[in-house]
């Protein structure tokens, strides 16, 4: 949490106890209201058991929206599941966290895995799924060990397995380690990967709610989304809703990185102005520097400029400003940053990570990467400039999955706000900022 | 030849899934963790246990960037080149390492001790520039820090220590 006293007063949800030593151990988590929501819902100590519908209703009232990027209302996603038919249905936690500039799920996984596990059991109960998976990206071997140990503890305590807390509800949970592929964060590619295939996005419909893992009804939710569920059940959906904005309940973890004094994860209410995050939480620019542009929602989001810093960080206002809240990975650039270089670095990423399934994404990102590289190294031509103005618009909305849109988000906004920088690179045959290139 | 112990582990992994197909990536991890990379033999062995044609296993292997078909160094040092780290000099660290070791990406040094990889955002951008040594995180990398890291790892290897 920010040093020097935060001016914004609110009740943290996800990071309430995050700096408690050994919070990842079950007993420590339990000493901080851990598994109280599960005990309340599934009945234990005398209190009335909640029905699955009652748990779902709290989540609906809470206005919880997906934290994986799209902001889809969580209860509505669960309600898309068809009525139980006696066969298996699955809950998959998306712990792929590969969006450049996003590092919030990692902190939950390594410091408070039980909060996620409790959230998954409650979510499983609400949607009558009896098997859960946590899909971790391959690079998360370290957090995986923490989560695996927590899952073992939860089994030992009877929170996982058969007849949980005497409720008759069964839920099994295990982790799964990916093997390096950004596209596997996309939920249908993730399901293919979990089935043991290459991670290609699937054609929709059918949606995973109808035909997901092994062709069975499946819900995929982000780590942070699921980690909010225990507090919603414990304190009530109305309480959670009241923390946020009219359309987005709760708080949000903002991952702030790049050219900023105090990078880190900061929990703030939904709708907090970007300026508060940048100055109150992250301590403003690096000494002697000035902010130039900020990506509000991970590498896939368009940039915002300082005149837009009073925008509330919520899904709709950021979308209306031509960007997206996305994963809330806030990447900060300052007056030492060359925008052409930043665009080149990002395009390299998307060109490498394009799964190759559809042409506009596979070819388009390669063309843009090559044009940007030429411009950035002083070998760019007017044709390259023209390509930057025309091609992104042809990729946008024309690819099989969201990766194509993600690839052009930053470039299109950089072209809009910083076009003279691109032109100057071509005219002068070098980077006009002449800075350290960062 | 698959050792009995490894076959047991593989069977346990397979039993953990509702459908066997899901076990192929975990099995490839198991083989790579124990052998350092995925040889033709490793692919044939995983294919045999999975009851899949080796070509299909190879297709899966080639899709995922963390599966390696050639040996890496005993210490595989990866540096993040994504935006937040790059803004804090991550790509300079990558260049520094490659110059120091005189190797291309994913190419072991002649003594087999080191190799260097470029990876994308490792989800610890607050500690930029970030890297991993044999998948264990290392952060706030500087050129001097990287030189010390190399010296430490070399000393550890000479001291007969195990992996990172
Ligand atoms: C290219 C691409 C990458 C994605 N990467 C992630 C990711 O790393 N983590 C994540 O939670 N969602 C990611 N998503 C979003 C998922 O497809 C999905 O919407 C999300 O997991 C749903 O969870 P939620 O409803 O809780 O937000 C990605 C989407 C796309 C198109
Ligand atoms: S950009 Fe390097 S860890 Fe995120």
CA angle A150, A153, A154 (to 5 degrees): 90
Which of B19, B86, B132 has the CB atom closest to A139's CB atom? B132
Distance, CA of B95 to CA of A91 (rounded, Å): 42
Distance, CA of A228 to CA of A66 (rounded, Å): 10
Residue of A nearest to B62 (CA): A198
Q: Residue A92: which H helix or E strand, with range?
A: strand A90-95
Q: Residue A385: which H helix or E strand, with range?
A: helix A382-395
Query: B149 and B109, same structural domain?
Result: yes
pLDDT in tens, B125-146: 999 999 999 999 999 999 999 9
What is the DSSP secondary-structure string of A297-326?
Answer: SSTTSPPB-GGGTTSBSSHHHHHHTTS--T
- Kindly state the average pLDDT of the residues A92-101: 97
A326 C-alpha to ligand 1 centroid (Å): 9
| Of residues A40, A23, A67, A13, the one with CA closest to residue A314 | A67
pLDDT in tens, A353-406: 998 889 999 999 999 999 999 999 999 999 999 999 999 999 999 998 899 999
pLDDT in tens, A63-91: 999 999 999 999 999 999 999 999 999 99
Q: What is the pLDDT of residue A44?
A: 65
Q: What is the pLDDT of residue B148?
A: 97
Least confident range of A45-49, A59-63, A177-181, A401-405:
A45-49
Which domains occur in chain A, in start order?
26-242 (3.40.50.11540), 251-334 (3.10.20.600), 339-428 (1.20.1440.230)
- Kindly state the average pLDDT of the residues A279-295: 98
Distance, CA of A383 to CA of B41 (rounded, Å): 49
B17, B43, B63 - which closes a domain: B63
**Residue B59 belongs to what domain range?**
4-63
Q: What is the CATH number of the domain that holds B8?
A: 1.10.10
Q: Which parts of A17-70 fold into alpha helices (H)? A: 26-31, 36-42, 52-61
Q: What is the pLDDT of residue A434?
A: 62
| Of residues B151, B101, B149, the one with CA closest to residue B117 | B101
A412 C-alpha to ligand 2 centroid (Å): 22
Q: Is residue B145 part of a domain?
A: yes
Q: Compute chain A's Rg from CA coordinates.
A: 22
Chain centroid to CA A380: 35
Q: How confident is the model at residue A1 (pLDDT cuts 50, 70, 90)?
A: very low
Kindly state if the Cβ of B130 falls inside 6 Å of ligand 2. Answer: yes
**A5 has pLDDT over 60:** no
Q: What is the DSSP letter of A70?
A: T
B83 C-alpha to ligand 2 centroid (Å): 7
Q: How confident is the model at residue A4 (pLDDT cuts 50, 70, 90)?
A: very low
Q: How confident is the model at residue A50 (pLDDT cuts 50, 70, 90)?
A: very high
- Kindly state the average pLDDT of the residues A247-263: 98
Q: CB of A203 within 8 A of CB of B31?
A: no
Looking at the CA of A193, which ligand is closest?
A: 1
pTM here is 0.96
Query: B134 and B101, same structural domain?
Result: yes
Query: B26 and B89, same structural domain?
Result: no
Q: Is residue B70 part of a domain?
A: no
Test the A interface: residue of B86, B92, B93, B119 with most A CBs within 10 Å: B86
Interchain contact A192–B (C-beta under 8 A): no
Distance, CA of A195 to CA of A216 (rounded, Å): 12
Query: B143 and B115, same structural domain?
Result: yes
- Kindly state the average pLDDT of the residues A231-239: 98
Burial category of A4 from C-beta neighbours within 10 Å (exposed 0-12, middle 13-18, buried 19 and up):
exposed
Residues of B in contact with A141 (CB under 8 A): 135-136
Kindly state if the Cβ of A225 falls inside 6 Å of ligand 1. Answer: yes
Query: B34 and B107, same structural domain?
Result: no
Other C-beta atoms lying within 10 Å of the C-beta of residue A140: 27
**A3 has pLDDT over 80:** no
**B57 has pLDDT over 90:** yes
Q: What is the pLDDT of residue A408?
A: 96
Q: Is residue B33 part of a domain?
A: yes
Kindly state if the Cβ of A220 falls inside 6 Å of ligand 1. Answer: yes
Query: B151 and B107, same structural domain?
Result: yes
Residue of B nearest to A109 (CA): B123
Q: Is residue B164 part of a domain?
A: no
**A436 has pLDDT over 60:** no
Q: What is the DSSP letter of A182?
A: G
Q: What is the pLDDT of residue A306?
A: 98
Q: What is the DSSP letter of B162?
A: -
pLDDT in tens, A101-114: 999 999 999 999 99
Block residue for tokens 């249905």: A89
Q: What is the CATH number of the domain that holds B130?
A: 3.40.30.10
Q: Is residue B139 part of a domain?
A: yes
Q: What is the pLDDT of residue A47?
A: 60
Q: Which two tokens stand for residue B18?
A: 């509702």
Kindly state if the Cβ of B141 falls inside 6 Å of ligand 2. Answer: no
Q: Is residue B93 part of a domain?
A: yes
Question: Which CA distances in Å does A100 have to A32, A78, A296?
Answer: 32, 28, 11
Domain count, chain B: 2
Q: What is the DSSP letter of A128?
A: T
Query: B115 and B79, same structural domain?
Result: yes
Query: B152 and B80, same structural domain?
Result: yes
Distance, CA of A71 to CA of A64 (rounded, Å): 9
Q: Is residue B69 part of a domain?
A: no
Query: B149 and B79, same structural domain?
Result: yes
Q: What is the pLDDT of residue A355?
A: 87
Query: B125 and B59, same structural domain?
Result: no
Among protein residues, the one with the nearest Cα to ligand 1's atom 24 is A66
- Kindly state the average pLDDT of the residues A163-179: 96
Q: What is the pLDDT of residue B119?
A: 97
Q: How confident is the model at residue B161 (pLDDT cuts 50, 70, 90)?
A: low
**A256 has pLDDT over 80:** yes
* Nearest CA distance, A256 vs chain B (angstrom): 7
* Nearest CA distance, B137 vs chain A (angstrom): 8
Give the rounded percent of residues in chain A with a pLDDT score beyond 90. Answer: 92
pLDDT in tens, A414-431: 999 999 999 999 999 988
Residue of A nearest to B89 (CA): A438
Residues of A in contact with B59 (CB under 8 A): 198
Interchain contact B67–A (C-beta under 8 A): yes
B63, B91, B106 - which closes a domain: B63
Distance, CA of B48 to CA of B52 (rounded, Å): 7
Partner-chain contact A345 B82, CB within 8 Å: yes
Burial category of B161 from C-beta neighbours within 10 Å (exposed 0-12, middle 13-18, buried 19 and up):
exposed
Query: B150 and B83, same structural domain?
Result: yes
Which ipTM did the prediction report?
Answer: 0.96
Query: B99 and B37, same structural domain?
Result: no
């Amino acid at each position: 949490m920010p040093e020097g006293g935060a001016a914004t007063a609110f009740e943290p949800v996800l990071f309430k106890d995050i700096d408690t030593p050994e919070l990842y151990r079950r007993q420590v988590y339990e000493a901080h209201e851990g598994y109280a929501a599960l005990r309340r819902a599934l009945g234990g100590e005398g209190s009335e058991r909640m029905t699955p519908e009652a748990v779902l209703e709290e989540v609906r009232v809470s206005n919880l929206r997906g934290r994986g990027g799209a902001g889809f209302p969580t209860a509505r996603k669960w309600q898309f599941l068809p009525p139980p038919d006696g066969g298996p249905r699955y809950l998959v936690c998306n712990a792929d966290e590969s969006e450049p500039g996003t590092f919030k799920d990692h902190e939950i996984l390594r410091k408070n895995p039980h909060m996620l596990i409790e959230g998954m059991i409650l979510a499983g109960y609400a949607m009558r799924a009896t098997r859960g998976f946590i899909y971790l990206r391959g690079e998360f071997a370290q957090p995986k060990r923490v989560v695996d140990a927590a899952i073992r503890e939860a089994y030992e305590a009877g929170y996982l397995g058969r007849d949980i807390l005497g409720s008759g509800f069964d839920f099994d949970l295990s982790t799964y380690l990916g093997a390096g592929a950004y596209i596997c964060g996309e939920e249908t590619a993730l399901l293919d990967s979990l089935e043991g295939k290459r991670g290609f996005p699937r054609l929709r419909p059918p949606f995973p709610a109808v035909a997901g893992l092994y062709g069975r009804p499946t819900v995929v939710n982000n780590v942070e989304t699921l980690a909010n569920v225990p507090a919603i059940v414990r304190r009530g959906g109305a309480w959670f809703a009241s923390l946020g904005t009219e359309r987005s309940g709760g708080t949000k973890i903002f991952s702030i990185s790049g050219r900023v004094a105090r990078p880190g994860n900061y929990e703030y209410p939904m709708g907090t102005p970007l300026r508060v995050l940048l100055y109150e939480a992250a301590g403003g620019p690096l000494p002697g520097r000035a902010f130039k542009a900020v990506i509000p929602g991970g590498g896939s989001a368009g940039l915002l400029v300082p005149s837009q810093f009073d925008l509330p960080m919520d899904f709709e206002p950021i979308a209306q400003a031509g960007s997206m809240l996305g994963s809330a990975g806030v990447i900060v650039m300052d007056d030492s940053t060359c925008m052409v270089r930043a665009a080149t670095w990002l395009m390299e990423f998307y060109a490498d990570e394009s799964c190759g399934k559809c042409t506009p994404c596979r070819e388009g990102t390669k063309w843009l990467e090559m044009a940007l590289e030429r411009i950035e190294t002083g070998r760019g031509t007017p044709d390259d400039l023209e390509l930057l103005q025309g091609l992104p618009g042809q990729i946008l909305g024309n690819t099989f999955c969201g990766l194509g849109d993600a690839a052009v988000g930053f470039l299109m906004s950089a072209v809009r706000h910083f076009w003279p920088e691109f032109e100057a690179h071509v005219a002068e045959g070098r980077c006009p900022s002449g800075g350290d290139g960062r | 030849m698959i050792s009995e112990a490894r076959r047991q582990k593989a069977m346990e992994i397979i039993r953990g899934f509702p459908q066997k197909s899901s076990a192929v990536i975990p099995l490839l991890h198991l083989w790579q963790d124990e052998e350092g990379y995925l040889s033709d033999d490793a692919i044939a062995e995983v294919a045999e246990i999975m009851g899949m044609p080796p070509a299909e296993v190879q297709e899966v292997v080639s899709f995922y960037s963390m599966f390696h078909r050639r040996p890496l160094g005993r210490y595989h040092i990866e540096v993040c080149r994504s935006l937040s780290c790059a803004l804090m000099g991550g790509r300079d660290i990558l260049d520094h390492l490659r110059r120091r070791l005189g190797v291309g990406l994913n190419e072991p040094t002649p003594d087999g001790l080191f190799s260097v990889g470029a990876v994308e955002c490792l989800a610890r951008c607050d500690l930029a520039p970030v890297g991993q040594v044999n998948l264990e995180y290392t952060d706030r990398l500087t050129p001097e820090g990287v030189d010390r890291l190399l010296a430490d790892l070399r000393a550890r290897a000479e001291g007969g220590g195990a992996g990172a």
